[in-house]
Structure 1
Amino acid sequence: MRSAVLRKEPPPMPAPVDSIVEVRGISKTYGDVEALRSVDLDFPRGKLTSLLGPSGCGKTTLLKIIAGLIEANAGTVTVDGKPVSGPGPERAFVFQDFALMPWATVMRNVAFGLELRGVAKTEREDKARHYIREVGLAGFENKYPHELSGGMRQRVGLARALSVDAEVLLLDEPFSAVDEQNRRKFQEDLIRLRTNQNKTFIFVTHSIEEAVYISDRIVLLSPRPGRVSQIIEPEIDRSGDPERIHRDQHYLDTVDEIWQGLKQYVE
């Protein structure tokens, strides 16, 4: 009598990730300085991914390559399967230094991207007004940038990026120029906006705590030339009181884990 043969079934394949942005073999040099080397990354649709690493590791360079603002020396970037060859309407960039038009009102600044696309004035102002309200600036539509605080100006930049209805929002250290109180409030707002807007956010930061607090996914880049060193997915419940997150043991452990990996690169 033959003995039964037990066959071990292979483990189930993980569900495919729906990536909206795909980076393949990206390298970039500035003269004799190698900023990025052979970077391969996928950015999941509808998630917030932070780029984190030591100063000079190429975080902002990678962000600007994805935005189409600078060219890579090698490699490709695709958004929804289409190659990136320059800026496009499916991506919006939030600059660190606000980049507002000083002669234009909040309304005009927020609606400017829509104006460039030829959207009718009534429609673009309705949409701009909606996002001005979303970022907490209702009532400031007719103010000029010089009449606003730094935090308020950054909110204008965020509203402008949201108003063009881009699929991917690229944020280059958008909270670095504001005080700690405003930074905390912005972080809470960003978590809420990501949930409400269902956009894909790619966020550059130097702050470990900020990255862990706001991110679905953290990409750690190595010292120059920047390469993907590690990908961390903090499993943090962000529902309810946001302040609770800072006391969450998993949050604290993740911050410490990242710091232990990065502190060797701090001079």
Structure 2
Amino acid sequence: MGATALRNGPSPVPAPIDSIVEVRGISKTYGNVEALRGIDLDFPRGKLTSLLGPSGCGKTTLLKIIAGLIRADGGTVAINGKHVTAPGPERAFVFQDFALMPWATVMRNVAFGLELRGTNKAEREAIARRYIAEVGLAGFEDKYPHQLSGGMRQRVGLARALSVDADVLLLDEPFSAVDEQNRRKFQEDLIRLRTNQNKTFIFVTHSIEEAVYISDRIVLLSPRPGRVSQIIEPEIDRSGDPERIHRDRHYLDTVEEIWQGLKQYVE
């Protein structure tokens, strides 16, 4: 098979990893609905990890707990060894619905996090301009969100997250609202950004193909209550022509392996 799979239960202990995010015993209940139960995970520094699983398994809930946007009922999250319970400068969140300020230009939206930190205008605009160009929006600095396509608005959200120089970028299905062509381009851009920026990405997706294509590591969550059921590390060479990956035997084998594990939960 084209992946290394680590399952819960009796198995060889994996080699230690350089973890930037450590999740221990995280549980969350909404009313009578148990969303997460006893999640233990380590997220490797400088890697892209995808959270994948059936609808309702708690992927976004776990992401928002790591972000500090909602509180867990039990367990801890540590970033760089420090326990966190609220948002912090070491994390940046990219929302599914863009979450841009409609009255602000692209420049102002991208620079907003730096403005909140008190960075002077010249410096924050220079930083924002750099990341606007990095995501392919040079020349659109003075446009407003309503003047942009959905794909362009999502690029603004990504540039905003990059501009604050957070160690960890948390992405909640960021490409789900764009068409297939833009989604493919975003995936290629994300692989490039992960390499160039040397950031740690935690990425929520419903797409098996997307997870395998972009990820260094894929965490499969079980149906509610969400628990870690499997961790897969795709053995895929992402150098060269990106289109080649979709025809790569290891890519196809890994997609099929994950589908075989998930299809029992599809109604």
In structure 2, the CA distance between the partners of 1:73 and 1:52, relative to structure 1 (3 Å rule), is same
Partner of 2:21: 21
Q: CA deviation at 1:14?
A: 6.6
Larger RCO (alpha carbons 8 Å, 6+ apart) = 2
Q: Deviations over 1:74-122 (max 9, x none)?
A: 0000000010120000000000000000000000000000000000000
Partner of 2:145: 145
Q: Which amino acid aligns with 2:158?
A: L
5 Å-filtered alignment, 1:111-190, equals 111-190=111-190
3-state secondary structure, aligned to 1:40 = strand
In structure 2, the CA distance between the partners of 1:253 and 1:140, relative to structure 1 (3 Å rule), is same
- Give me the TM-score of the superposition, normalised by structure 2: 0.95
> Does the alignment pair 1:33 with 2:33?
yes
Partner of 2:62: 62
Q: Deviations over 1:5-30 (max 9, x none)?
A: xxxxxxxx975310000000000000
Q: Which amino acid aligns with 1:196?
A: N
Q: Which amino acid aligns with 1:23?
A: V
Q: Which runs of 5+ in 1 are unaligned?
A: 1-12
Partner of 2:3: none
Alignment: residue pair count: 255
Which whole-Å CA distance do the structure 2 matches of 1:238 and 1:257 have between them? Answer: 19
Q: Deviations over 1:110-144 (max 9, x none)?
A: 00000000000000000000000000000000000
Which whole-Å CA distance do the structure 1 matches of 2:264 and 2:228 have between them? Answer: 17
Which whole-Å CA distance do the structure 2 matches of 1:84 and 1:172 have between them? Answer: 19
> Does the alignment pair 1:245 with 2:236?
no
Partner of 1:8: none
Q: Deviations over 1:192-238 (max 9, x none)?
A: 00000000000000000000000000000000000000000001010
Partner of 2:205: 205
Which whole-Å CA distance do the structure 1 matches of 2:238 and 2:256 have between them? Answer: 19
Q: Which amino acid aligns with 2:68?
A: G
| Identity across matched positions, percent | 90
Which whole-Å CA distance do the structure 1 matches of 2:234 and 2:104 have between them? Answer: 40
> Does the alignment pair 1:75 with 2:111?
no
Q: Which amino acid aligns with 1:138?
A: A
Q: Which runs of 5+ in 2 are unaligned?
A: 1-12
Which whole-Å CA distance do the structure 2 matches of 1:167 and 1:123 have between them? Answer: 20
Q: Which runs of 4+ in 1 moved over 4 A?
A: none
Q: Deviations over 1:18-61 (max 9, x none)?
A: 00000000000000000000000000000000000000000000
- Give me the TM-score of the superposition, normalised by structure 1: 0.95
Q: CA deviation at 1:180?
A: 0.1
Q: Which amino acid aligns with 2:166?
A: A
Q: Deviations over 1:127-174 (max 9, x none)?
A: 000000000000000000000000000000000000000000000000
Which whole-Å CA distance do the structure 1 matches of 2:169 and 2:14 have between them? Answer: 27
Q: Which amino acid aligns with 2:239?
A: S
Which whole-Å CA distance do the structure 1 matches of 2:110 and 2:239 have between them? Answer: 29
Partner of 1:230: 230
Which whole-Å CA distance do the structure 1 matches of 2:64 and 2:146 have between them? Answer: 27
Which whole-Å CA distance do the structure 1 matches of 2:59 and 2:38 have between them? Answer: 14
Q: Which amino acid aligns with 2:241?
A: D
Partner of 2:4: none
Q: Which amino acid aligns with 2:96?
A: Q
5 Å-filtered alignment, 1:47-58, equals 47-58=47-58
Which whole-Å CA distance do the structure 1 matches of 2:18 and 2:241 have between them? Answer: 29
Q: Which amino acid aligns with 1:59?
A: K
